[in-house]
Structure 1
Amino acid sequence: MSRSIDYGKLMHQAMRGLIQRVLVGVQDNGLPGMHHFFITFDTKHPDARLADWLKERYPSEMTVVMQHWFDNLEVTNDGFSVTLNFGDAPENLYIPYDAIKTFVDPSVEFGLRFETPDDDEPSGDDPDEDDDITDGIDVPEGERTDAEVVSLDSFRK
């Protein structure tokens, strides 16, 4: 059993669940009103699928726009696939929720940003990791960071 509650991981799961619910609504009913999405994702994620020419052009991350034209949106528990138009070249993409770095709907000034720990730092998932207790809160070594509170009002005009 873990010696601490991983609030960051739980928050990311909740935010990714929100994205999934929004995309299911779009899959079922289309985009309502002026809503549209800018989705930035990690093109190196092992489960992300995109054309080789897109991987070459965007070797680390890519931002896609779901607005006027998209097709074949299929939402699953792990991610979603969608066909988007790249200069009159339709391409199918599969984007796992874990690969998403930002999700923004500028029509209502809503945005989510996912912070990821460096790969060489401990994840906190290994029960044998050395943990330190700081101010009564168990924080795994390497996961101590300065907290930043982001107000949703910062996305409003």
Structure 2
Amino acid sequence: MARTIDYGTLMHRAMRTLIQNVLDDVAQNGLPGDHHFFITFDTTHPEVEMADWLRARYPEEMTVVIQHWFDNLVVTDDGFTITLNFGNQPEPLIIPFDAVRTFVDPSVEFGLRFETQEQDDEDEDEGDTGAEDDDLPPEPPRGDAEIVSLDKFRK
């Protein structure tokens, strides 16, 4: 059997390394300028650790914003831990890089999206109609951390 180069896997690995490097720099030096991140991750990933009430509210996917207030950002080769504020309630999260679905820095219009076969099939079924208002997540708790829909950043 002929050997092939798996460009998809190599690209995903490179993109996750980019996220790792960016977050590691932020952990060491803080966020520069107007930079901030929307990170969407798969809450069903077996290595994601989060409060039960957050998992109940976001049983499949969650988007967090790293901007004004965050604490305890620690980056490893496999993922990152961070404490975010949800309605004046600090909550630690452990997010493996393999669980990350999107990484967006809207201050410079930069974004990465990790495709999976399952997502590709869903995208084909949905077409280019975009999300309906009733598909949006419920209003997030008020505080410094926000949970947002990334649909407005997609073209």
1:118 is aligned to 2:114: no
Percent identity between the two aligned chains: 70
Q: 2 CA distance for matches of 1:25 and 1:55? A: 28
More helix by share: 2
Q: Report what 1:106 is aligned to.
A: 106
Q: Deviations over 1:77-96 (max 9, x none)?
A: 00000000001110000110
Please tell me the residue identity of whatever aligns with 2:43: T
Q: 1 CA distance for matches of 2:35 and 2:2? A: 40
Q: Which SS does the other structure have where 1:50 is aligned?
A: coil
TM-score, L = length of structure 2: 0.75
Q: Which SS does the other structure have where 2:116 is aligned?
A: coil
Please tell me the residue identity of whatever aligns with 1:43: T
Q: Which SS does the other structure have where 2:49 is aligned?
A: coil
Figure out how many residues of one structure are paired with residues of the other and give that number: 121
Q: Residues 136-155 of structure 1 correspond to what in structure 2 (within 5 A)?
A: none
Q: CA RMSD in A?
A: 1.8
Find the structure with the greater CA-based Rg: 1
Q: Deviations over 1:55-113 (max 9, x none)?
A: 00000000000000000000000000000000111000011000000000000000000
Unmatched tracts of structure 2, length 5 or more:
120-153
Q: Report what 1:11 is aligned to.
A: 11
Q: Deviations over 1:111-152 (max 9, x none)?
A: 000001239xxxxxxxxxxxxxxxxxxxxxxxxxxxxxxxxx
Q: 2 CA distance for matches of 1:117 and 1:42? A: 14
Provide runs of 4+ in structure 1 moved above 4 Å: none
Unmatched tracts of structure 1, length 5 or more:
120-153
Q: Deviations over 1:31-66 (max 9, x none)?
A: 000000000000000101100000000000000000
Q: Residues 1-157 of structure 1 correspond to what in structure 2 (within 5 A)?
A: 3-118=3-118
**Alpha-carbon offset, residue 2 of structure 1:** 7.2
